[in-house]
Amino acid sequence: MNALNPSGWRPEKTESTSAALAPTASGDRGLMLEEPLIFELGREGQTGVDFDNADEAPDAALGAFLRKAPVALPGLSEPEAMRHYTRLSRQNYAIDLGPFPLGSCTMKHNPRLNEKIARLPGFADVHPLQPQETVRGAFEVINELAVWLVKLTGMHGVAMTPKAGAHGELCGLLCIRSALDARGESRPVVLVPESAHGTNPATAAFAGFRVENIPATDEGRVDLAALEARLGPDVAGVMITNPNTCGLFERDMKKISDLVHNAGGYVYCDGANFNAIVGKVRPGDLGIDAMHINLHKTFSTPHGGGGPGSGPVVLSEALSPFGPMPFTARMPDNVVYLVEEEDAATQGHSQSFGRMSAFHGQFGMFSRALTYILSHGADGLRQVAEDAVLNANYVLRSLEDVLHAPFGASGPCMHEALFSDDELPEGFTTLDIAKGMIDEGFHPMTVYFPLVVHGAMLVEPTETESKQGLDRLIASLRSLAARAQAQDPSLKSAPHFAPRRRLDETLAARKPVLTWQGHVQAPGAPSLSEIGGS
């Protein structure tokens, strides 16, 4: 067993790092294949498809639509195109390969049952422009999911149209603004604690509010005294994340809500961390007025890759009349209908602020989320939260002797374990641990967030990781911490076994190379070798 690898997960290596990474003639490293850009592979005039009569003159009716210059797309045969994308896919980390320990992101396994249901005929091919009478089943699914979300949160109503978490935040703030307008009040300020998600202040500013910060206590929770001192007639409300981004439950949440309500404001809760309390705590019982729910976090719909997202917003009785249109409702004939603007008054929504989007939500995400809820039931969802919290605390207590846990003494954490680089030797940082994780075969945790913790490392294992899998992750992190304490210089240049070495992140961010320029480097752009792309 290697002193720098106390976990024993890998046999001790005797060769040096440089020898282990000796260049090959092909640029490949065993089965890790070096892959050029598709433009470098392709050849002009090459194609994997034969077209009959390709040399004939095009139809003159196309007129101005005729191409004036070559399309400049790479030409590849079918095997070349297939191999290119297969090789690229092998360089991509995925939840099907291992855990995504990203804190506050809840990257959990997506059950295949959900995918099977979403692909059923009538679900997979439903179209948003179909006549309403042809999609009654889809309305039933949307309404059933809405009922569950209201039940699980203890709220009064729900808006299903928002497309993602930040879109849901905007929906909640527009409801708050409409409610204040109905009262004839101008309240321009939204308070955002330091422990809230980063999208909260951005969304509040986008909605036209002025954002003011509320500090955190040494325990990592909202400073109740500072909040109470700032409340006044200019405060529209507070945006709070609970459990917060330090992985802690806001124990004074009900008192916070009471203080804000007594001052005439509203309470918006970021529901990204609902996975930690689903089935255990109902936000409505804590005085929450609006909360978005990320279906991809709590209810296992696919996460990442550019979408599609879904962020339904549950609303209190005070804000429900101001929710967006349209919405589903079960009528006296026991049929679910989509209520549009012209029927809003008859359904108690005459004060709706309008539409959030052209179509009613992301149906593929709705069918997956409802499948997940029905397959678990209320008791199963409660166990989801319990297991997620258990796993996070297992990670916290298994690593706090080798990584600084700033709030470890505050008691158990919730869904995520928070560490910092404060106790690493001088010259070694969170970034070195994160890059070392790539060499260990893991996706790095969330780094340098939350901002209230210096050199933060935020690990959220979720409930879908087994103890065996967590032990492997923990062993790798302990090994990396030991290498840092031994001031192993190879950790400073990790990763060594990834397709690309460590990038110069400052140069890559300030002078990114985003488009293919042939063999001519864009003016002022760094080469791949300059940013570490060799």
* pLDDT interval class at 524 (50, 70, 90): low
24 within some domain: no
Q: What is the pLDDT of residue 31?
A: 78
Q: Are residue 146 and residue 260 in the same domain, yes or no?
A: yes
Q: Are residue 354 and residue 427 in the same domain, yes or no?
A: no
Q: Distance of alpha carbon 470 from its chain centroid, rounded? A: 21
Q: Distance of alpha carbon 514 from its chain centroid, rounded? A: 23
Query: How many residues in total does the chain contain?
Result: 534
Q: Are residue 494 and residue 516 in the same domain, yes or no?
A: no
Q: Over the chain, what is the mean pLDDT?
A: 88
Q: What is the pLDDT of residue 9?
A: 38
Q: Which residues, 6 or more positions from 167, have their beta carbon under 8 angstroms from its beta carbon?
A: 292, 309, 311, 356, 357
85 within some domain: no
Q: Are residue 498 and residue 522 in the same domain, yes or no?
A: no
Nearest to 315 by CA among 377, 268, 349: 268
30 within some domain: no
Q: Are residue 207 and residue 294 in the same domain, yes or no?
A: yes
Convert the pLDDT of each residue in 274-298 to its tens digit.
999 999 999 999 999 999 999 999 9
Q: What is the pLDDT of residue 2?
A: 42
Q: What is the pLDDT of residue 337?
A: 86
49 within some domain: no
Q: What is the pLDDT of residue 3?
A: 40
Six token digits for residue 19: 């020898």
Q: What is the pLDDT of residue 526?
A: 59
Taking residue 176's Cβ as centre, other Cβ atoms within 10 Å add up to 28
Domains of the chain: total = 3
**Strand ranges of the sheet holding 157-159, from the earlier edge strand across to the other edge:** 157-159, 313-315, 290-292, 266-270, 235-241, 189-193, 210-214
Query: What average pLDDT score do residues 96-124 get?
Result: 92
CA distance 124 to 118: 6
Convert the pLDDT of each residue in 474-520 to its tens digit.
999 999 999 999 999 999 999 998 888 888 888 888 988 887 776 55
What percent of the chain stands above pLDDT 90? 64
Six token digits for residue 7: 């976990």
Query: What average pLDDT score do residues 67-75 get?
Result: 80
Q: Are residue 339 and residue 365 in the same domain, yes or no?
A: yes
Q: Are residue 299 and residue 399 in the same domain, yes or no?
A: no
Q: What is the pLDDT of residue 342?
A: 75
285 within some domain: yes
Q: Are residue 512 and residue 492 in the same domain, yes or no?
A: no
Q: Assess contact for 316 and 324: CB atoms under 8 A.
A: no
CATH number of the domain bearing residue 424 = 3.90.1150.10
Cβ burial 186-204 (10 Å sphere, 16+ → b, else e): ebebbbbbbbbbebbbebb
CATH number of the domain bearing residue 147 = 3.40.640.10
336, 369, 402 — which closes off a domain? Answer: 369
Least confident of 29-33, 207-211, 386-390: 29-33
Convert the pLDDT of each residue in 179-189 to its tens digit.
999 999 999 99
342, 369, 396 — which closes off a domain? Answer: 369
106 within some domain: no
Q: Is 63 exposed, middle or buried (0-12, 13-18, 19+ CB in 10 A)?
A: exposed
Six token digits for residue 292: 């978005």
Question: In sequence order, what DSSP letters do the residues of 302-314 get, joined into one string?
Answer: ---TT------EE
Nearest to 204 by CA among 185, 176, 244, 233: 176
Q: Are residue 183 and residue 302 in the same domain, yes or no?
A: yes
376 within some domain: no
Q: Are residue 324 and residue 407 in the same domain, yes or no?
A: no
Amino acid of residue 166:
A
Can you give the C-alpha Rg of the chain in angstroms? 26
pTM (two decimals): 0.88
Asked if the model's pLDDT at residue 201 lies above 80, the reply is yes
CA distance 54 to 139: 47
Q: Assess contact for 238 and 214: CB atoms under 8 A.
A: yes
Q: What is the pLDDT of residue 350?
A: 77
510 within some domain: yes
- Tokens 């059933």 belong to which residue? 144
Q: Which residues, 6 or more positions from 299, have their beta carbon under 8 angstroms from its beta carbon?
A: 293, 368, 369, 372, 373
Q: Distance of alpha carbon 231 from its chain centroid, rounded? A: 31
Q: Are residue 313 and residue 393 in the same domain, yes or no?
A: no
Q: Which domain holds residue 286?
A: 115-369
Query: What average pLDDT score do residues 431-451 get?
Result: 95
Asked if the model's pLDDT at residue 54 lies above 90, the reply is no
Q: Are residue 279 and residue 305 in the same domain, yes or no?
A: yes
For the chain, helix, strand, coil in percent to 5 are 40, 10, 50
Asked if the model's pLDDT at residue 73 lies above 90, the reply is no
Taking residue 183's Cβ as centre, other Cβ atoms within 10 Å add up to 10
